[in-house]
Structure 1
């Protein structure tokens, strides 16, 4: 059986500098996969290439059995492939509800489907229901991140990709965020591909993980295997034990 997301031999570059150098990676249906690695290792570039924001030099990206070559980035959410970008990138001058409606673009012609998804999303994030008419730019950092995730969920993804969702959040908000991700994965069966610096917390949730280095996979394994791998501890995770003690 083919993976939900399958990346093979992927090469991507900025100018003449390679950011991905023959990357191979898989995410199975309903699986939680974490991407780790130092800055410049290719994590964000992987996300951008899969979501169609960056055209690869060579290699292949397949989603749900179909090759994504030639599929424009704006069409990919309708296939079930959605990304929550680093920095959230919500629309600050629009209300919470307006932001959610923008996320429902793939089902814009089916009003009942959009309304049904909105109800489901607000059930997951009740605080957003309380802020429904509030301008997104006035939300707290944690609430803004909830909105960014909720907006992506409006498209009905099969795979949710998140790039550094905990960036800039206080520790209590990070714990709350990962609680939502756990619920989406375990209760809703959503496949997740997560780029995250909070390695200890991320690996507790992960079915599997990859550590990237110079645009390639340096180490891969289950979440538990990566947590206990001395190479990962020494080279990539640094203060993992202290941060999760």
Structure 2
């Protein structure tokens, strides 16, 4: 076993490292987050307030915070861009993804969506995030390979795929927003999801979980907004 990921049985933030590990052909297992959270979350090496937690089995060391986990895995498994400036752009994209997760769940469920707030988010904020991805894609997507950096897949492609792929699967109505604001990046996501390791992982997960995204009241709130409002 190469890694254990301690997370809930939902895609959301956990799919970022899971998709990367699937692409890299690593041996991993998902362990219920309750094995660490909350009782032991501050007593492990590299403590963390909330999941996901990654155990590097070979080093017997824990790491948490999704962006840190992604950079660790990418550095270990040749999924970072070659050039230093590109590495920081890749990190920026991971952090952008993390910010979108924070926003779409109303600050990790601290609040629920109202019709007005959802309309503002979807029309302005979400659209702006998507257009930013498209701008970076226009500047950097390789014309031959279709990837962000060096003509090969990297942590940047995998992170954007983990974010947008889960959103379009769980909330198909949001695919319209992606087609309007980031069509080239959406094409990237669709290509990456067809790569063999990722395709098999997603097929199994989606069969098991259906359309579930982040679970709980906040997912119910998102679904309520999508069913009650036209874009």
Normalising to structure 2: TM-score of the pair? Answer: 0.31
Greater RCO, 1 or 2 (C-alpha within 8 Å, sep 6+): 1
Please give the TM-score of this superposition, normalised by the length of structure 1. 0.30
Q: Which has the higher strand share?
A: 1
Larger helix share, 1 or 2: 2
